């Protein structure tokens, strides 16, 4: 993520990015109830996955709090998005085939190499920021400097090899990497890759990636969700998600970034950026100034009732909502 993020604005006419402050959590929930029900009413009878609505939260605690208040009034769904590591790795590699220059995807792929411990990733992030390098270039630079050794060096080389293969769009080269990592016949991988490379439309590409993952790793296929319900996820669990409308409720300084400092603060900022960019049309951020006595988040903590400092970094102004 850049040291100087650009202001967050709608990408095209008709889109909106807004932030509302409410007098109380009761007022916030009343607004969210009406807003979510109106958005659900706009969905078609058989909405596509990316036409739906998601609420994203900085932690499970904040998620459970809002789920408890909203689920009796609005069709809501909590769904585990945990999948085997190989599925995440394959999904990200396939996305990079079509979007090789997206540094966010590069970083997600890098995170799948568990041999790279937090101390190694801090070194990589520092090199990325100091020299404005893409993650593969940063890893290559660190390997040349001898700053990654042992299993970490092996993982960095494997990451660079996988990325270089995806960027080459050479079916044989990509298939060789995939078949080796997920232990599957090369011919099956080649057939699926050829189908993906023939698709030009972004929407169809994303659908094809999910289908290919299901074909190559059938045991990891995710059951379909109720698309007429609001999906509740943590920000961390939303990586890779795309929805027409995204709401980020309860975004107070106490929870985002909380007391995070240094590298932890930078990671929280990146997580916030992930959440903000999950929507294609509408982003709505809300938070209350006060919480009622029965509110599970009503306890003394610094930053409760104040807007997350990350909101100002996006260029958004906080609007008071009755």
The pLDDT assigned to 219 comes to: 84
Which residue's entry shows tokens 């795309």?
Answer: 242
Q: What is the pLDDT of residue 203?
A: 64
11 occurs within a structural domain:
no
Task: Check whether residue 118 and residue 145 sit in a common domain.
Answer: yes
User: Are both 90 and 70 inside the same structural domain?
Assistant: no
Q: Which of 164, 186, 220 is the last residue of a domain?
A: 220
- Beta strands 53-57 and 230-234 are parallel
Do 139 and 250 fall into the same domain? no
Q: In this structure, what DSSP letter does residue 56 have?
A: E
Task: Let me know if residue 63 belongs to a domain.
Answer: yes
Inside any domain, residue 151: yes
Last residue of a domain, one of 199, 220, 241: 220
pLDDT at 46: 87
The CATH number for 52's domain is 3.40.50.300
Question: Do 269 and 299 have their domain in common?
Answer: yes
**What is the CATH number for 188?**
1.10.486
Same domain, 116 and 206: yes
Are residues 242 and 158 part of one domain? Answer: no
Q: What span, in angstroms and rounded, lies between the C-alpha atoms of 83 and 210? A: 13
Inside any domain, residue 9: no
pLDDT at residue 293, as a whole number = 86
Q: What number of other Cβ atoms are within 10 A of residue 149's Cβ?
A: 11
Residue 8, domain member (yes or no): no
Q: Which of 194, 220, 246 corresponds to the end of one domain?
A: 220
- 43 and 120 share one domain: no
Q: What is the pLDDT of residue 2?
A: 44
Q: How many secondary structure helices (H) and strands (E) does the chain include?
A: 12, 7
Two tokens at 308? Answer: 């997350």
Q: Is residue 69 part of a domain?
A: yes
Angstrom distance (rounded) from CA 195 to CA 193 = 5
pLDDT given for residue 263 in this prediction: 85
Is 267 within the bounds of a domain?
Answer: yes
CA distances to 98, 110, 316 from 105, rounded to whole Å, are: 11, 9, 25
**pLDDT of the residue at 207:** 78
pLDDT digits (tens), the chain, 322 positions = 444 545 555 555 667 899 999 999 999 999 999 999 999 999 998 888 888 999 999 999 999 999 999 999 999 988 655 568 899 899 999 999 988 999 988 999 999 999 999 999 999 999 999 999 999 999 999 999 999 999 999 999 999 999 999 999 999 999 999 999 999 999 999 999 998 998 877 667 777 888 899 999 998 876 667 888 999 999 988 877 889 999 999 999 999 999 998 888 988 998 999 999 999 999 999 999 999 888 999 999 999 999 999 999 888 999 999 7
Overall domain count for the chain: 2
pLDDT score of 208: 87
Residues near 219 by beta carbon (within 8 Å), at least 6 away in sequence: 84
Picking from 4, 54, 55, the residue whose alpha carbon sits closest to that of residue 251 is: 55
Are 134 and 50 members of one domain? no
Residue 255 shares a structural domain with residue 141? no
Please report the pLDDT score of residue 11 as a whole number: 54
For residue 10, is it within any domain?
A: no
The DSSP symbol for 54 reads: E
Q: Specify the pLDDT at position 294.
A: 86
Same domain, residue pair 93 and 41:
no
What number of other Cβ atoms are within 10 A of residue 75's Cβ?
A: 14
User: In this structure, are 242 and 184 located in the same domain?
Assistant: no
Domain that holds residue 238: 16-81+225-320
Three-class secondary structure of residue 227 per DSSP: coil
160 & 202 share domain:
yes
């Amino acid at each position: 993520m850049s040291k100087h993020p650009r202001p967050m604005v709608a990408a095209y006419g008709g889109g909106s990015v807004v932030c509302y402050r409410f007098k109380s959590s009761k007022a916030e929930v009343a607004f969210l109830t009406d807003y979510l029900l109106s958005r659900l009413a706009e969905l078609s009878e058989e909405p596509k996955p990316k036409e739906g609505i998601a609420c994203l939260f900085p932690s499970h605690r904040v998620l459970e709090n809002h789920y408890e208040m909203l689920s009796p009034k609005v069709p809501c769904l909590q769904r585990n998005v945990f999948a085997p590591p190989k599925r995440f790795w394959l999904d990200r590699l396939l996305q990079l085939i079509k979007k090789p220059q997206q540094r966010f995807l590069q970083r997600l792929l890098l995170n799948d190499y568990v041999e790279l411990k937090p101390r190694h990733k801090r070194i990589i992030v520092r090199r990325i920021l100091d020299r404005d390098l893409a993650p593969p270039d940063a890893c290559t630079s660190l390997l040349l400097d001898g700053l990654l050794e042992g299993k970490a060096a092996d993982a960095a080389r494997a990451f660079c090899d996988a990325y270089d293969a995806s960027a080459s769009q050479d079916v044989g080269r990509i298939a060789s990497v995939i078949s080796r990592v997920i232990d599957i016949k090369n011919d099956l991988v080649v057939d699926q890759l050829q189908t993906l490379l023939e698709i030009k439309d972004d929407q169809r590409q994303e659908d094809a990636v999910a289908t290919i993952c299901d074909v190559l790793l059938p045991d990891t296929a995710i059951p379909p969700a109720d698309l007429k319900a609001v999906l509740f996820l943590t920000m961390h669990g939303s990586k890779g998600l795309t929805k027409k409308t995204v709401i980020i409720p309860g975004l107070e300084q106490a929870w985002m970034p909380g007391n995070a400092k240094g590298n932890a603060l930078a990671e929280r900022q990146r997580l916030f950026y992930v959440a903000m960019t999950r929507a294609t049309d509408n982003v709505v951020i809300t938070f209350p100034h006060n919480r009622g006595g029965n509110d599970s988040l009503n306890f003394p903590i610094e930053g409760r009732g104040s807007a997350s400092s990350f909101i100002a970094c996006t260029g958004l102004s906080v609007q008071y909502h009755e």
